[in-house]
Amino acid sequence: MSAAYILLCFVLVLILFSIIGMLAMWVDRKLTARLQFRVGPPWYQNFADFIKLAGKEVLIPEKANTFMFVASPILGLIASGIAGTMILLVFKTKTVFPADAILILYLLTIPSLAIILGGSASGNVLASVGISREMKLLMGYELPFVCGLVIAAIKSGGSSLSSIIQFQEQHGIIIGSLSGVIGFVIGVLALQGKLGLVPFDLAEAEGELAGGSLIEYSGLLLGLFKLTKALLLVVGPLFLISLYLGGINISSPAGIITGILKYILILVLFILIKNTNPRLRIDQTMKLFWGWATLLGIAGILLAIAGW
């Protein structure tokens, strides 16, 4: 596989997943509005918002570390795009990247680190509160997320997405087992925190922190952070689909339709959790992730070892 082919796939993933992610964000906003007896935005609103941000002036604070301030949103976008490219290549060509599931786990951590680095580089004291919450949130949900990956790896006997998907093609989807259900549930919760959706939106609670870590960002740089979130709203669910729902066969129309339904299932779960729970305090969030979610993850690992 040539470098030019991989680069082309990367560019296509950035474009395609950004479009799908923005449409998914619109579905979220539209359904949330309907549940609150509001009309909600038109389907093109997120695209218009990004174009508007791209046309605005980028203001860099006087005391900011300019290089880190500018590089952080680009770093988060590239990491999300690489993770999406790897998943798409596995779906399309059954490409085997050794231990790529672990690599994708790390890549999905970089967007959160980019928010932390960008907020720190801004030099704004008010951003430090959002940075503190983002760091605690990151440390909270990563441990259960790792447990969810370990469950899938134990069940399939491998740590590459290709081997995990191949196992499910031969033996049935992992979510069909008790340990698989546990892994899927904590995976959904961890992704809810990674995306900063209610009840885990404490790091950018507008009513409290005026934008949180991104308070100093404007123009295209702020748009890149928004675009990264749209990418994660596609890449994250696709990662869960690979681990627990058998992946997506994009070589046939039936496989594509089934994959779309799997994605919609996870998106609906995100929206339901978002609209049926209040925002948690940071201590409640840490207690949930380091307490119940981690214990559930460890129980799932033990059940997976036992063959359940």
Residue 174: give the domain boundaries: 3-305
Q: Give which of 110, 126, 129, 131 is closest to 216, Cα–Cα.
A: 126
Q: Give the N- to C-terminal CA distance of the chain in Å, as an integer.
A: 38
Question: Which two tokens mark 267?
Answer: 């998106």
Provide the total of helices (H) and of strands (E) in the chain, helices listed first: 13, 0
**What pLDDT, on a 0 to 100 scale, did the predictor assign at position 70?**
94
pTM: 0.93
Half-sphere exposure of residue 220: CA atoms within 13 angstroms, side-chain side: 7
Q: Give which of 43, 208, 61, 37 is closest to 122, Cα–Cα.
A: 61
**What pLDDT, on a 0 to 100 scale, did the predictor assign at position 2?**
73
**What pLDDT, on a 0 to 100 scale, did the predictor assign at position 298?**
94
Question: Which two tokens mark 48?
Answer: 């218009």
CB-CB contact of 2 with 73 (8 Å):
no
Instruction: Write the CA distances from 95 to 6, 44, 149, 162, integer angstroms.
Output: 12, 35, 19, 7
How many structural domains does the chain have?
A: 1
**What pLDDT, on a 0 to 100 scale, did the predictor assign at position 95?**
67
**What pLDDT, on a 0 to 100 scale, did the predictor assign at position 93?**
74
**What pLDDT, on a 0 to 100 scale, did the predictor assign at position 241?**
95
* Number of other CB atoms surrounding residue 307 within 10 Å: 9
**What pLDDT, on a 0 to 100 scale, did the predictor assign at position 307?**
82
Question: Which two tokens mark 122?
Answer: 């801004």
**What pLDDT, on a 0 to 100 scale, did the predictor assign at position 308?**
86
Q: Cα–Cα–Cα angle for 96, 97, 103, nearest 5°?
A: 145
pLDDT tens, residue by residue, 175-218: 989 999 999 999 999 999 999 888 888 877 665 556 678 888 99
Task: Enumerate residue ranges in the chain where pLDDT < 50.
Answer: none
**What pLDDT, on a 0 to 100 scale, did the predictor assign at position 129?**
83
In a 3-state reduction of DSSP, which class is residue 163? helix
Token look-up 């934008």 returns: 211
**What pLDDT, on a 0 to 100 scale, did the predictor assign at position 207?**
58
DSSP letters of 166-197?
HHHHHH--GGGSHHHHHHHHHHHHHHHHHTT-
In a 3-state reduction of DSSP, which class is residue 77? helix
Q: Give which of 225, 177, 218, 209 is closest to 282, Cα–Cα.
A: 209
